[in-house]
Structure 1
Amino acid sequence: MRVALTHALLQFRLLQLWWLFCNIWDSQAYDSLRQKALDLMREAPLIDGHNDLPVKLRWFYENKLSKIDLRTLNTTQTNIQKLQAGHVGAQFWSVYVPCDAQDKNAVHLALEQIDVIKRMCENYEELELVTSAQGIDYIGRNKIACLIGLEGGHSIDSSLATLRIFYELGVRYMMLTHDCNTPWAQSSLRQTSSLYADTYTLTGFGEEVVKEMNRLGMIIDLSHTSDATALAVLRLSKAPVIFSHSSAFSLCNHTGNIPDHILYRLKRNNGIVMVTFYAEVLTCGKDAVNILTVADHFDHIRTLIGSEHIGISGDYDGGLRHPEGLEDVSKYPALIEELLRRGWSEEELKDVLRENFLRVFREVEKVRDENVFMIPNEEEISQDDVDISCHQDLKPPSGVAILN
């Protein structure tokens, strides 16, 4: 009896030691993987494709930067300290204008959002506005490069001249549509949009927009466009394009996501999809969303077209809900840790974090430089194609004749 009890006690002690060993091993493995992710991101700081902080500054603070401290602002998912903790090296700030402003004061509102982004980046020594791939590379590791992206082609008011002015002001990508059609491009919401419901795919004037963006060196963003629009652009554009914040349609059939057949075309274009963290497009609102859910989208796209066509876009301060474990911009290392756990190589992740976007940006600039002798596009959209009820045409006053 005593021998049996001694044997049982010995087995129990061995199980205790095994449990302790496994927990120590798991803890050390976890710490090692987290440290590897952090080291990797110090070497290759993230270029994030889309952040909506500027519209929060508009909604809640009327763009009055004097009223807040962006280093410690705690009413948003983004502040400078959190960006630094998340190892963000470059951030595209979104110029968001609601679709209801189309054909009204969209240009005016967009200009005010560009202004607040520029002031934001001038007011803080941790931030610096850049407008080129070289500018991103030039920024030291103690600063965050600021870039400007225009969220929706309705903000150019169907004017190539306005597009050019936005480029001069520093805008380096434009999303062709948001949740509404424009007179020249169809949104992913297609005919459910009440604005320009008859617009289908990319029109003739839309093609001129694409050509002028290629000439300028402005990146074309296909997030929120319809499949037909995306395919038309992918056939036409001489430069690689991006989806600044989208995920895989095969895993969630949300209209903002990208079907496999378009991902294949994106690979041929040498462009990238910057996978978003917005919970609604990750599981279509059906299930709890966490880091594993996000990583599944990365895995699917990598398997389909390769890691060289992937970037990262948190869509912070834009989406209503973000995955558990990725609640704000400080959490990016947790995703890199999970991808390392799934067998992604360090070289793949350096590309995803940074190099893939830089490749696209440099190629867009190369196309611009190859077309440096092209004159600005002077095409205008037909007035029959736009709602001109709020427009005033610039015509000579009555009685003023053209001089011969």
Structure 2
Amino acid sequence: MPAPTPPSDTSDRTSDPLAERIAALLERHPVWDGHNDLAWEAREQVGYDWTALDIGAGTAGRTHTDIPRLRAGGVGAQFWSVYAPSDLPGSAAVTATLEQIDAVRRMVETWPDTFALALTADDVEKAWAAGRIASLLGAEGGQSIDSSLGTLRMLYRLGVRYLTLTHNHNNPWADSATGEPSGHGGLSEFGVEVVREMNRLGMLVDLSHVSAATMGVALDVTEAPVMFSHSSARAVCDVPRNVPDDVLARLGGNGGLCMVTFVPGFVTPEIGAWRAEAAEAARARGVDPASYTGFSAFSKEWEADHPIPHTTLDDVVDHVEHVRDVAGIDHVGLGGDYDGASGFAPGLEDVSGYPNLLAALARRGWSDTDLAKLTSGNMLRVLREAERVAGRLAAERAPSTARLGNA
């Protein structure tokens, strides 16, 4: 009998019970993130050529997201943003959105052992059972439908399962958090019809980016749970993109959820103030702060002479706990906004960082039951309820024929 192999030296290694606990939790309840802009990053970097942006091999230094880091982060479901800038004219925005949908679908087809397109809550659970990352689509901004309910319905048929009612600019029927009030109180009559039709389809109403007035009207109108795909708490960081407490408090009655984002300017008050100063300077220079591309370029220039404050993982934890405390444990989730922002906190630099956040929450006393709701349980419930409502409404009313101006 051969001599046994001597054990390797493990004197400098110690087990980490908390890390093991989080890993076990993520095996059972993987992260379902509300918003990731990898598709737009692929457009900007390589014109959607997935052979040139090989996320299977790893793209550290180029993107926040690739397959090895998604696996390391315990991600089991992702709403991939199919985004078009809100200052694109209508037909161009629709085209850009369609190109984004195509890009995500081709990504799923390129790595079929990793990703599975998901259209329903059942599809998500089937993907998990097969060891794949459920891939859902979320359209970021009402500009993507060009004020057409027919276009909305076609996006649904192509797999879009949420629509963010605005992006950074107002559209003809909804007010943005970063736009001037339009005079129709948040949502116009046609905007109300958009929400009603989304309920009938089973497309989730995403209230990230919208004004507080738009949030309130949408909550008054909707018959299904709403979501905030990537927003944090305004009481913790007072910026327009975050959710006021009175709106968070309504999520319990609505059944929806706020998926806390990790964007530094939305979680760290000092960075929020820095962004506000930069926005004023941009306006003075003739740059629209609501322009994603224009303001991003200006911010880099501004940062050279105005160093940006630091953000921390604990800043994000504070938002998660505030949303839990105000809305309830059943109404909080995670929406990192990776590849749609920069400068994330140490420990949350990319999609591999979710276990660090969960460990920080566990150290604050979160149970596995509550962590499981945060990672994916709440989002799974919300999508199932939206599907249930859609089943009822589809039997009660026909597709809306409303048009902008005659809703």
TM-score (norm 1): 0.85
Q: Which runs of 4+ in 1 moved over 4 A?
A: none
Alignment of 1:5-404 (within 5 A): 31-71=16-56, 72-74=58-60, 75-124=62-111, 125-139=113-127, 140=129, 142-191=131-180, 197=182, 200-284=185-269, 285=271, 287-373=309-395, 374-382=397-405
Residues 183 and 199 (structure 1), Cα distance of their counterparts in 2 relative to 1, 3 Å cut: farther
Residues 66 and 335 (structure 1), Cα distance of their counterparts in 2 relative to 1, 3 Å cut: same
Unaligned runs of 5+ in 1: 1-23, 386-404
Question: Secondary structure in 2 aligned to 1:190?
Answer: coil
Distance 1:213 1:167 in 2: 9
Give how far 1:103 is off: 2.7
Distance 1:371 1:296 in 2: 38
Question: Secondary structure in 2 aligned to 1:251?
Answer: coil
Distance 2:53 2:320 in 1: 36
Distance 2:51 2:362 in 1: 41
Distance 2:98 2:322 in 1: 38
Question: Secondary structure in 2 aligned to 1:274?
Answer: strand
Residues 199 and 183 (structure 1), Cα distance of their counterparts in 2 relative to 1, 3 Å cut: farther
Query: 2:119–2:136: 8 Å Cα contact kept in structure 1?
Result: yes
Give how far 1:305 is off: 2.3
Question: Secondary structure in 1 aligned to 2:349?
Answer: coil
Instruction: Give the number of the structure whose alpha-carbon radius of gyration is greater.
Output: 1
Distance 1:164 1:336 in 2: 37
- Percent identical among aligned pairs is 43
Give how far 1:372 is off: 2.3
Give how far 1:199 is off: 5.3
Give how far 1:244 is off: 0.4
Letter in 2 for 1:129: L
Distance 1:164 1:306 in 2: 32
Query: 1:183–1:199: 8 Å Cα contact kept in structure 2?
Result: no
Query: 2:90–2:146: 8 Å Cα contact kept in structure 1?
Result: yes
Letter in 1 for 2:199: N
Query: 1:89–1:141: 8 Å Cα contact kept in structure 2?
Result: no
RMSD of the TM alignment (CA)?
Answer: 1.7
Unaligned runs of 5+ in 2: 1-10, 274-308
TM-score (norm 2): 0.84
Letter in 1 for 2:188: T
Give how far 1:141 is off: 5.3
Query: 2:250–2:327: 8 Å Cα contact kept in structure 1?
Result: no
Give how far 1:104 is off: 4.3
